[in-house]
Amino acid sequence: MVAGALTTVSLQTVARNALTPLPLEELQQLAAVFGMVKTDYVEPVDEKKLITDAISGMVASLDPHSQYFDKKSFKEFREGTTGRFVGVGIEITQEDGLVKVVSPIEGSPAYRAGLKTNDLITKVDDTAVKGLSLNEAVKRMRGEPNTKVILTIFRKEENRTFAVTITREEIKTQSVKAKVIEPGYAWIRLSQFQERTVDDFVRKLEEIYKQDPGLKGLVLDLRNDPGGLLDAAVAISAAFLPENVTVVSTNGQLAESKFTYKAAPEFYQRRGNNDPLKRLPAALKTVPLVVLVNEGSASASEIVAGALQDHKRAAILGSQTFGKGSVQTVRPLGPDTGLKLTTARYYTPSGKSIQAKGIVPDVMIDESEEGNVFSLLRTREADLDKHLGSGQGAEVKDPARDKLREEARKKAEEEARKPVAERKVPEFGTDKDFQLAQAINQLKGRPVLISKTQVIERKDEKKEN
């Protein structure tokens, strides 16, 4: 039946108002393989799963960011962009195989239950956390609204273990944190670009200016921000830039993929909503600004850093960013499934491709006073299999970087042998945050401890320019 349907399919298909011929011979081959697997495989196979896997494989072969969404993954994707999910409401990381609470989300069930920063979760219901991946632990803590989950907690500071029963509910994640570091200087951190990010960003800045109206300098922290929604990135850029200047441009095959986004409400304002940026103080347009980035800063955070750098609105400090400079368009294929497809590349206002290159900071800063122990081990876009090129010349493999990565691997192994208390990376925004301290020095015009290990990347950028 499938073979018959494919052999009689029209030789032309309408795609985005353009007629594109279908490769009939290859489609017949696909139908033949499907038929053989269905009849000849050692045991019966699920037809729907075969087709779904074929679609997934086809899309996954393009680049690391194109993806076919089945019902479950489509739901998870939507939750990630809205900043809403059903769970207990904690930001977590992993430590010694256990789940460590970074912070409970204010007002969440975990917050009301009294969970604290640095609490270790040893069990979720009857399942020991040791041996589970972080994603597996997260899945066990999430569930349906109004269902209960029992978390077993070890609190180091009190040297005791106890169980707490928490009722799951819809959580609204906080993607923005902020505080006044010292009189005249503030820090605002974006952990992701979600639907609520711009509103939260404006609210936090209002609080900062209320606390310290005479702000002399601001640090915008985009470290480990994996990106998110494009309109949120355009809005955050527009908060600091003159009106109507270019924030980012895109280019791809489709006419709609060739577009320039500017610092104006029509490029970021959601339909029917007021422009939240109007509530920001005028002083924000001129306050001295430093942007912190690292290898984990990707996509939307690279757009913001690139726009502020090209317009000379901010000094960019840290490490070369991830290099995820491609646009993904999500198209529903039905009520519960969809396709995320790479449709364009991002370009900074000066026309530089972000893809597989990233943003090179104005001042390279190591993650600690001792240097970059872990940064060279982190994967960038250019390290991913089947990654899309920049579209601006061939990539050159850097043997010196590979050598430095091997040295960093040895350092990391040495670091791992140290006691946990001595090797943990300080939390962003604390008084032990080395890069934040350098950012404040930059704002004050004081000496900044620049990196001695990242010279090669700066040289590469100069050659390209």
Active site residues: 299, 310, 324
What 3 state SS string does 137-199 have?
A: HHHHHCCCCCCEEEEEEEEHHHCEEEEEEEECEEEECCCEEEEEEECCEEEEEECCECCCHHH
How many Å apart are CA 387 and CA 178, to the nearest integer? 35
Among the listed residues 85, 93, 147, the one whose alpha carbon sits nearest the alpha carbon of residue 121? 93
> 291 - beta bridge partners?
220, 316
- In terms of DSSP bridges, do strands 160-167 and 12-15 run parallel, antiparallel, or are they unpaired? unpaired
Residues 6+ apart with CB under 8 A from 192: 83, 173, 175, 225, 226, 227, 228
- Cβ burial 196-224 (10 Å sphere, 16+ → b, else e): bbbebbbebbeebbeebeebebbbbbbbb
User: What are the C-alpha distances in Å from 39 to residues 43, 48, 263?
Assistant: 9, 15, 58
Residue 17: both structure tokens together = 């108002």
Q: Are 436 and 407 in contact (CB under 8 A)?
A: no
User: What b/e readout covers 347-384, taking b as 16+ CB neighbours within 10 angstroms?
Assistant: bbbeebbbbbbbbbbbbbbbbbeeebbbbbebebbbeb
Q: Are 195 and 81 in contact (CB under 8 A)?
A: yes
Residues in a beta bridge with 218: 186, 289
Query: Do residues 390 and 355 touch, judged by C-beta distance below 8 A?
Result: yes
Contact 257, 282 (CB under 8 A): no
Tell me the backbone φ, ψ of residue 197, rounded to 5 degrees: -60, -45
